[in-house]
Structure 1
Amino acid sequence: MRQYLDIMRPLNCTMASFAVLIGAKMGGPLQITVLYAIAATFLICAAGNTANDYYDYQIDKINSPNRPIPSGKITRKGAHQYALTLFILAIMLATQINMPALMLAVINSMALYLYAATIKQGGGLTKNLTVSYLVASPFLFGGLASENPSVTLFLVFVAFLVNTSREIVKDIEDFEGDKDHLESLPVKYGFRLPAIVASFFLAASILLSIVPAISGVVSSLYLPFIVVADLILTGCIILLSLSPKNSSPRVQRLIKKAMILALLGFFIGSF
C-alpha cells in the first residue's frame, strides 16, 4: 500500500489542502463545507500527481527511477485507474460545497489531467504557468467554500509568482531527463535566461509580500514568517545568479521551504 501513498506525493497534497484552509479562514468563519473542500483538494492533487507519473514514465526512468512506476511497484495501467478513481471521488465531495466550488474542482481536475497528458509535453512557459495556476487556485477554492473568494485573490497572485519561479528552477534541475522528451525553457534557451526569469518572479513576490500586512488583510503575526521566507527567497536569487544549474536542486527545495513558511504566516496572521 505504501506505493499508492508515494505516488500521490502526500506532502504536496497536504500543502494544497492547507492552502484551502487558509483561503477559507481569510473568507470568514469556517463552515462544514470547508472540510469537503480540503478533502476534495487533497484527492484532486493526488490524482493529478498520479496522472503525471503515468505520463512521465519514460522521463522518470532517468530523473526519478525510484518512483513507484519506473521501479515496478505500480503498473502504468494501475496508476491510471487509481488517478481516475481519485478524480471521481474528489468531484463527488465537491458536489457537497456549492456550485462555484464544484465548477472550479471540475476545471482543475481537467486541467491537471490535460497538463500531464499534453501541456507538459509542449514545454515552455505555458507549462510552468499552468502548474502555478493549479498550485495557487486552492486559496481561491477555500474562499469559495466560505463564499467570500475576493479576499483570497492577492494571495492567489503571489503564490502564482513564487511557484512559477520554482517550476522554472525544477526544469533547470531536470534538464538531463527532459532534453530528449520536453521543450522546457532550459532545453530551448539554456540555463542563464530561465534563471533570470525565475529570479524576476521571486523578486516580484518579495516586493508584494508585505502588502497583506500593510493593508490589514492579516495581523502582525504574519510578519516574522514572511521576513524569514523573503530572506530565503533572496538567497535563492543570489544562488541562481552564481550557478543556475549546480544550485537548482538546492534552490527549488529552498523555495518550497519559503512557501511553507509563508503559508504558516498567512494562517497564523489570519487570526
Structure 2
Amino acid sequence: RISIESAYKVAYSFTLLSSLFMAVGAYYTEEPYPLIAIWTFAALLMYTYDAGPQTKRLGLIGNIAISLMVGAVIVYGAASVSLAETEIVIYAAIVAFFANLAREIIKDCEDMESDEGRKTLPMRIGLMNARSVAYVFILASMVTLGLAHYIGPLEYHHIIFHAPAIFILFSLNGPLFHGDDHKAQQNVRVGMLLGLIAFAVQVSVL
C-alpha cells in the first residue's frame, strides 16, 4: 500500500506519459486530429469520473462513462494508424460499449451492499430490474454484431468466428436469473475478449 500523496504522484506520472505517447503518435500518424480528439475525450471522461461531477457516484451515468472509454480504446488504436473511421472499427467499438455497459450494471448488482454514497441502477430500480436492463444491453451488443455482418463490412457467414462469444453472452440469462452476478460479469468479460479476438482474426486473416 502507498500513501495518498504517492498515489497522486503515480497518477500524474502516468497522465504525463500518456500525453507524451499521444503526442508522439499524433506526430507520426498521417491524420493526427482524430487521435488527439479521442485522447482528449477519454481524458475528460476519466477526470470527471473521479473529480469534478464525480460521475462514478451517479450510477448509470458513471457506467456509461466507463463504457465509452472502453469503446474509445478501440477507436484510439485505429486512429493511431489513421483508420478511426473504418466501419469495422466503429461496429467493434459499439459492441464493446454495450457489452461493457451491461457488465458495469451487473457489477453494481454484485456490489450493491458495499456501494455507499453511490446512486447505482440496482439501488434505483431493484436488482432483478437492473439485471434485466443489463441483459437488454447484451442483446443490443449482439444486434450490433449482427448488423456488422448483415449490412456492414463483414461477410454474414463470417459471424461463425463470433460463435463462442455469442454463446457465452446469450447464456447470461441463466446466472442473471439466479442472481449469480459474479459469474455473469465474469462471463461478459470472457465474451468481450473472445469477440475482440474474433474481430482481430477477421481483419488480419480474411
TM-score scaled by length of structure 2: 0.86
Q: Which has the higher contact order (CA 8 A, sep 6+)?
A: 1
Structure-to-structure mapping, 1:88-237, within 5 angstroms:
88-98=16-26, 99-100=32-33, 101-117=35-51, 118-121=54-57, 123-151=58-86, 152-178=89-115, 180-215=116-151, 217-218=153-154, 223-237=159-173
RMSD: 1.9
Q: Say whether the 8 Å CA contact 1:129–1:164 is kept in structure 2.
A: yes
Quick one: distance in 1 between partners of 2:165 and 2:158?
A: 11
What is the aligned partner in structure 2 of residue 270 from structure 1? 203
Kept in 1: contact 2:49–2:56 (CA 8 A): yes
Name the CA shift for 1:262/1:222 in 2 (closer, same or farther; >3 Å).
farther
Task: Give the share of equivalent positions with the same residue, in percent.
Answer: 24
1:250 counterpart = 2:178: no
TM-score for the superposition, normalised by structure 1? 0.67
The count of corresponding residues between Structure 1 and Structure 2 is 194
Unaligned runs of 5+ in 1: 1-72
Cα deviation per residue 1:90-132 (whole Å; 9 max; x = unaligned)?
10111122232123213312321220231112x2321111111
How far, CA to CA, are the matches of 2:166 and 2:99 in structure 1?
A: 11
Amino acid at match of 2:25: I
Amino acid at match of 1:160: F
Instruction: Give per-residue Cα distances to partners, 1:151-192, cap 9 Å, x unaligned.
Output: 1212211111111100000100111110x2211111222201
The structural deviation recorded for 1:147 is 1.5
Q: Does the aligned pair in 1 maintain the 2:75–2:93 contact within 8 Å? A: yes
